[in-house]
Amino acid sequence: MNAVARILEWPIEVDDAQGLALWTAAEIAAATGGTASGDFLVSGVEIDSRDVIEGDLFFALKGEAMDGHRFVDAAFAKGAAAAVVDRPINGPHILVENTSTALELLAKAARDRTMARVLGVTGSVGKTGVKEAIFAALDRSSRGRAHRSVKSYNNHVGVPLSLSRTPAATKFGVFEMGMNHAGEIRALTAQVRPHVALITTIAPAHIENLGSIEAIADAKAEIFEGLEPGGTAIIPADVAQYGQLRRTAERLGVKIVSFGRSDFADVRLLDAVPAPGGGSLVTADMGDRRLCYTVATPGEHWVVNSLAVIAAVRELGGELGAAGLALAELEGLKGRGARHRLPVEGGIALLIDESYNANPASMKATLADLGNTTAARRVAVLGAMKELGEHGPAFHAGLAVPLREAEVDEVILVGDEMLPLAEELGKSATTALGKPMAFAHCGSVGETLAALGKLGLRADDAILVKGSNSVGLGAVVSALTQHKD
């Protein structure tokens, strides 16, 4: 039997007969308590008029500085099928008292109607990449009927937006949750109501707001509070806060699955070796079986991340074979590990784009990855790490050790917060092997580009660009890649 015949013989399932529209006007009105101007169908939900595509439902949200009602006409011009508004307009619409509340209510209706197995993902580092890997595995397992939050839509607006976009026939839902303060995850997990909740790791991100690493762990563990009855908490075995996370999950009476290198981990790393063509060949012990697979994304942190992916897919009822294929094909995301080949005089230079986020743990991991990258010269462009508060100077100065261990040749530091690191490097600007390590300190993206221009990129260079998003190093990546082949 050929492949086409097999596809045609797939059994018809009950929810295959469901309509293709995401929402009808009547469903939106019922969910939000609003009034529909007439009958219409929408195929998507959007809050940014610039991103509207044909068939979308545009929510005119009101913020402190911006009112989405100003952009209703622009949304219709781009093809919006209707809008949710708090005042009458010309064009198909749902009239509500408060558009932000209406979005949350539509999200609730989406969660109530879906029969999908739902995963919630949080963590100090790696949650977006892990979310994408799990989604890719589940999408394979379900004939394209997995849904996830796109980009980093993980806050009080992004989560309900992602939920509201869930098709009725979805089999797996994967939702990312982030936080800056205690209590934020609690509110988000109450909306998502996951069957499985995963914490990737605990690290001192947002420590300025939370005060201690233990408080960060408590805030992340709030995700377990939203678990559906019989749900599973997946926790990292290798962090110092493992016991703290486990005690929270035990108090809530949920199933616990741990992952990592530790001997007691339920999904345990047995071996990881470099794979032909890059990445790692991983062997994991799952208790009742061993699994071998390839992780395409380089870095030791992705070896451990893959264990979390395998654990989540298994607990959700997905196919482990599909998880292995997804990990073998996984590419770095924009701002989170994407790799670009830059044509330079005499050959090709490698650009590693980690410009979206940075904290001490992710800095250490990506610098180690840079150190494991074969290159004639290693260049690190490092932007300030934000939200570290009084701990910031020590954490920034502490990057001198991983820089030396990675044998970085040239360092460009960006932002005032990087001054302690510049001072530390000035004391002994050499690598672990005694090689000289040149460095410069820049105050802006413009100065950074000038410093790179003065440095000159060469064939076989490896350039890492990493910093908190607000530093703006994405502009450096854009400038370097705009002329690449």
Q: What is the pLDDT of residues 6-55, one digit of tens each?
A: 544 555 554 444 446 999 999 999 999 999 999 999 999 999 999 999 99
Q: What is the pLDDT of residues 407-441, one digit of tens each?
A: 999 999 999 999 999 999 988 666 666 667 889 99
Q: Is the dihedral of CA 109, 143, 315, 309 positive or negative?
A: negative
Count CB-CB contacts under 10 A for residue 284. 22
Q: How far apart are CA 337 and CA 350, in angstroms?
A: 12
**8 is written with which tokens?**
């045609």
Residue type for position 409: D
- In this prediction, residue 14 carries a pLDDT of 46
Question: If one looks up domain 18-101 in CATH, what number appears?
Answer: 3.40.1390.10
Chain-centroid distance, C-alpha 90: 38
Check whether 447 has a pLDDT greater than 70: yes
Average pLDDT over residues 452-462: 93
Question: If one looks up domain 338-481 in CATH, what number appears?
Answer: 3.90.190.20
Q: How far apart are CA 67 and CA 133, in angstroms?
A: 35
Q: Which CATH number fits domain 114-329: 1.10.260.40, 3.40.1190.10, 3.40.50.300, 3.90.25.10?
A: 3.40.1190.10
Check whether 359 has a pLDDT greater than 60: yes
- In this prediction, residue 292 carries a pLDDT of 96
Classified as helix, coil or strand, 71 is: helix
Q: What percent of the chain has pLDDT over 70?
A: 93
Q: What is the DSSP string of 398-442?
A: TTHHHHHHTT-SEEEEESGGGHHHHHHHHH--B-TTS-B-EEEEE
- In this prediction, residue 309 carries a pLDDT of 98
Q: How far apart are CA 225 and CA 98, in angstroms?
A: 28
- In this prediction, residue 217 carries a pLDDT of 95
Q: How far apart are CA 174 and CA 170, in angstroms?
A: 11
pLDDT band at 210 (very low <50, low <70, confident <90, very high): confident
Q: What is the pLDDT of residues 298-356, one digit of tens each?
A: 889 999 999 999 999 999 999 999 999 999 998 887 888 889 999 998 899 999 999 98
Q: What is the pLDDT of residues 370-402, one digit of tens each?
A: 998 999 999 999 999 998 989 999 999 999 999
Q: How far apart are CA 386 and CA 295, in angstroms?
A: 30
Q: How far apart are CA 338 and CA 351, in angstroms?
A: 8
Check whether 86 has a pLDDT greater than 90: yes
Q: What percent of the chain has pLDDT over 90?
A: 80
Classified as helix, coil or strand, 474 is: helix
Q: What is the DSSP string of 88-132?
A: --SSSEEE-S-HHHHHHHHHHHHHHH---EEEEEE-SSSHHHHHH
Asked if the domains at 18-101 and 338-481 fall in one CATH topology, the answer is no
- In this prediction, residue 7 carries a pLDDT of 44
Classified as helix, coil or strand, 86 is: coil
Prediction pTM value = 0.85
- In this prediction, residue 485 carries a pLDDT of 41
- In this prediction, residue 433 carries a pLDDT of 63
Average pLDDT over residues 136-141: 95
Average pLDDT over residues 168-191: 96
**313 is written with which tokens?**
């897919």
Count CB-CB contacts under 10 A for residue 381. 29
- In this prediction, residue 58 carries a pLDDT of 98
Q: What is the pLDDT of residues 240-260, one digit of tens each?
A: 999 999 999 999 999 999 999
Average pLDDT over residues 283-311: 95
Check whether 3 has a pLDDT greater than 60: no
Check whether 61 has a pLDDT greater than 70: yes
Answer whether 111's CB lies under 8 Å from 191's CB: yes
Helix (H) or strand (E) holding 45: strand 44-46
Output the CA torsion 208→211→216→222 (10° steps). Answer: -110
pLDDT band at 63 (very low <50, low <70, confident <90, very high): confident
Answer whether 207's CB lies under 8 Å from 213's CB: yes
Count CB-CB contacts under 10 A for residue 6. 9
Answer whether 335's CB lies under 8 Å from 356's CB: yes
Q: Where are the domains of the chain?
A: 18-101, 114-329, 338-481
For residue 341, give the nearest of 330, 352, 328, 354 by alpha carbon.
352
Average pLDDT of the residues of the chain: 92
Average pLDDT over residues 57-68: 92
